[in-house]
């Protein structure tokens, strides 16, 4: 797989290829054609469930592993997937666990959650996620404060320094990514695998990092990238509930909300607000059923791009009478089935996967 990346010849491609070899990642992830003729003449799934821990968050944690060379404090807010990916890196990447100490803010009621069902019907309890996350001395967990205030860089840094009694090590908050793009490569792989820029890409939106970096790749993002989110904290796709990055009140009232990213962002890029469209609970159920029908393995958040069967059903900015020519649905993944499988096998969370 990495030969393909090497062959692209670009510096970025070579760097990614190096990481893919070193960390055991399985890139590029597959782009598989689907039979959805009313949506597009050619419709594909970009399947990020093929990542080691089942989600596209492995792209972010690979960037982090590579960027850290000295002892560093890392902080993040996670509903589970980034945290699970990071813990797997700690287990499997040589020396990474010695270099980092990680403070993770998780939902205060994660222990009462059941996540899923996935398109395979699997669920996982929040307590199982907590038990996988709690197994490393270099990882501390804190509950996200119930008052709903945003945890900014300074607040997370203070908490990390207190938790590890460390005033001097460098600190990085990866809640909104790092200062190197991690997800742009997903769109780059799509364009390379197709040999063209698709007419329409559908992507989930939580903090909006994937949507932002996908938009960065195309010339007319308002026409080509449809970002989808939920307006309810208890949604089946709760990983996508992002009130700090999106006008959720408008999302609920009129079916779309505009984004609220800081600009310039961590990548130094100017961020103009753009529209994100709402997906309701019954649509998420339909999307999961559609994933099952097309043999796509997705958790609810990953399944939301499968909400629409026909171009006429798309949100008004994107709706058309005729099917699109080329459509790509990004399945951001499914850590639930990976967690279930690997725990079933080893009884202790993700099993080591990395070679040299």
Q: Which is nearer to ligand PLP, 36 or 239 (CB)?
A: 239
Give the shortest CB-174-to-ligand PLP separation in angstroms.
Answer: 11
By CB under 6 A, name the binding residues for ligand PLP: 55, 79, 81, 204-211, 239-240, 299, 301-302, 332-333
Give the shortest CB-19-to-ligand PLP separation in angstroms.
Answer: 19
Q: Which is nearer to ligand PLP, 2 or 212 (CB)?
A: 212
Give the shortest CB-337-to-ligand PLP separation in angstroms.
Answer: 12
Give the shortest CB-161-to-ligand PLP separation in angstroms.
Answer: 25
User: End-to-end alpha-carbon separation of the chain, Å?
Assistant: 16
Contact assessment for residue 193 and residue 217, using Cβ atoms and an 8 Å cutoff: no
Give the shortest CB-264-to-ligand PLP separation in angstroms.
Answer: 18
Angle at 102 between CA 352 and CA 303, to 5 degrees: 65
Q: Which is nearer to ligand PLP, 17 or 115 (CB)?
A: 115
Give the shortest CB-299-to-ligand PLP separation in angstroms.
Answer: 6
Q: Which is nearer to ligand PLP, 57 or 140 (CB)?
A: 57
Q: Nearest residue by C-beta to ligand PLP?
A: 206
Q: Which is nearer to ligand PLP, 300 or 323 (CB)?
A: 300
What does the alpha-carbon distance between residue 118 and residue 124 come to, in Å, rounded to a whole number? 10
Q: Which is nearer to ligand PLP, 139 or 240 (CB)?
A: 240
**Per DSSP, what are the bridge partners of residue 76?**
104
What does the alpha-carbon distance between residue 314 and residue 311 come to, in Å, rounded to a whole number? 5
Give the shortest CB-211-to-ligand PLP separation in angstroms.
Answer: 6
Q: Which is nearer to ligand PLP, 126 or 302 (CB)?
A: 302
Give the shortest CB-280-to-ligand PLP separation in angstroms.
Answer: 17
3-state secondary structure the chain: CHHHHHHHCCHHHHHHHHHHHHHCCCCCCCEEEECCCCCEEEEEEEEHHHCCCCECHHHHHHHHHHHCCCCEEEEEECCCHHHHHHHHHHHHCCCHHHHEEEEEEECCCHHHCEECCCCCCCCEEHHHHHHHHCCCCCEEEEECCCCCCCCCHHHHHHHHHHHHCCCCCCEEECCCCCCCCCCHHHHHHHHHHHCCCCCEEEEECCCCHHHHHHHCCCCCHHHHEEEEECCCCCCCCHHHCCCCCECHHHHHHHCEEEECCCCCCCCCCCCCCCEEEECCHHHHHHHHHHHHHCCCCCCHHHHHHHHCCCHHHCCCCCCCCCCEEEEEEEECECHHHHHHHHHHHHCCCCCCCCCC
Q: Which is nearer to ligand PLP, 242 or 349 (CB)?
A: 242
Give the shortest CB-281-to-ligand PLP separation in angstroms.
Answer: 16
Q: Which is nearer to ligand PLP, 208 or 231 (CB)?
A: 208
């Amino acid at each position: 797989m990495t030969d393909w990346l090497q062959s692209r010849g670009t510096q970025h491609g070579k760097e990614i290829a190096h990481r893919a070899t070193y960390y055991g990642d399985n890139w590029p992830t597959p782009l598989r054609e689907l039979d959805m003729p009313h949506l597009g003449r050619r419709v594909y799934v970009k399947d990020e469930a093929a990542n080691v821990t089942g989600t596209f968050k492995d792209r972010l944690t690979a960037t982090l592993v590579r960027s850290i060379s000295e002892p560093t404090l890392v902080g993040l807010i996670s509903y589970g997937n980034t945290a699970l990916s990071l813990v797997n890196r700690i287990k499997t990447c040589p020396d990474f666990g010695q270099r980092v100490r990680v403070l993770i803010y998780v939902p205060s009621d994660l222990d009462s959650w059941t996540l899923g069902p996935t398109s395979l019907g699997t669920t996982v309890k929040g307590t199982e996620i907590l038990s996988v996350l709690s197994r490393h001395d270099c990882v501390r967990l804190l509950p996200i404060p119930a008052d709903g205030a945003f945890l900014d860089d300074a607040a997370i840094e203070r908490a990390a320094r207190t938790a590890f009694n460390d005033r001097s090590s460098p600190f990085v908050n990866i809640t909104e990514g790092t200062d190197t793009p991690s997800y742009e490569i997903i769109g780059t792989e799509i364009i390379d695998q197709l040999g063209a820029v698709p007419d329409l890409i559908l992507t989930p939106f939580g903090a909006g990092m994937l949507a932002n970096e996908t938009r960065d790749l195309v010339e007319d993002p308002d026409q080509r990238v449809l970002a989808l989110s939920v307006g309810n904290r208890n949604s089946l796709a709760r990983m996508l509930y992002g009130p700090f990055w999106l006008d959720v009140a408008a999302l609920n009232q009129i079916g779309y909300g505009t984004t609220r990213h800081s600009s310039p962002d961590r990548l130094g890029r100017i961020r103009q607000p753009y529209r994100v469209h709402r997906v309701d609970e019954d649509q998420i159920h339909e999307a999961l059923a559609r994933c099952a029908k097309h043999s796509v393995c997705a958790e609810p958040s990953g399944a939301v791009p499968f909400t629409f069967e026909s171009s006429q059903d798309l949100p008004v900015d994107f709706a058309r009478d005729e099917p699109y020519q080329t459509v790509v649905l990004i399945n951001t993944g499914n850590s639930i089935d990976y967690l279930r499988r690997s725990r079933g096998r080893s009884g202790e969370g993700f099993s080591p996967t990395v070679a040299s």
